[in-house]
Amino acid sequence: MNVALSAGERQPGVMQIVERSPLTLIAFEYAKMKQGIPAEIDHLLGLYDKLYGIGILKEPSGYVFIQVSPNVVQERIKLKGNNPTLEFLCSNGTISAVNEFMNGFFAKYINPENFIILNSDTTTQEGLANSIINFIGSLKGKLQTTNGISSIAHNALIGEPIL
């Protein structure tokens, strides 16, 4: 799960919590690309570059990434039954590539104070919740937007490696 945190636009100083961000879509396109599946990562990054450039999309102030292993994901979805979308989303290759992408993105583009990576394999729900609450508390008073998605989009457009 990827959570993006940003300062409120209509209510300055108010934090908004979003379960998914454009980064999630980029991560899954990266996973497709890594597995040799036709992907639209360059197209998607070009679109985001334009939308961030004109201010329609805003960069988050912080990120919470809850990492999980492929084995745990597969155990969790057995309850939901199999379908082609879940099979792709929960495959070893996809989960590994998404984890690789997210870790690389944070290391290259985001200040360590602006993200937290949690492991849901080894942390209880209460532990995850407490870690998220503490992280959000650490951001209060310093909600400055990051420029990670804009930077990765720009690098893709000029032919630089994204990670």
More confidently predicted of 85 and 150: 150
Most confidently modeled of 6-15, 16-25, 99-108?
Answer: 99-108
In a domain, 163, yes or no: no
Q: Residue 82 has what pLDDT?
A: 63
- Asked if 59 contacts 150 with a C-beta cutoff of 8 angstroms, the reply is yes
In a domain, 162, yes or no: no
Number of domains in the chain: 1
- Give the range of the structural domain holding residue 119, as residue numbers without chain letter: 2-157
Q: What is the CATH number of the domain that holds 101?
A: 3.40.50
SS3 (DSSP) at 109: helix
In a domain, 62, yes or no: yes
In a domain, 108, yes or no: yes
In a domain, 101, yes or no: yes
pLDDT band at 41 (very low <50, low <70, confident <90, very high): confident
In a domain, 131, yes or no: yes
More confidently predicted of 150 and 5: 150
Residue 8 has pLDDT above 50, yes or no: no
More confidently predicted of 42 and 8: 42
Pairing of strands 15-18, 115-119: unpaired
Q: CA angle at residue 138 from 140 to 28, to 5 degrees?
A: 95
Structure tokens at 52: 């961030």
In a domain, 116, yes or no: yes
Q: What is the pLDDT of residues 115-128, one digit of tens each?
A: 999 998 899 999 99
Quickly tell me which residue has 């930077």 as its tokens: 151
The structure's pTM equals 0.80
Q: Residue 17 has what pLDDT?
A: 74
Q: Cα–Cα distance between 37 and 53 in angstroms, integer?
A: 29
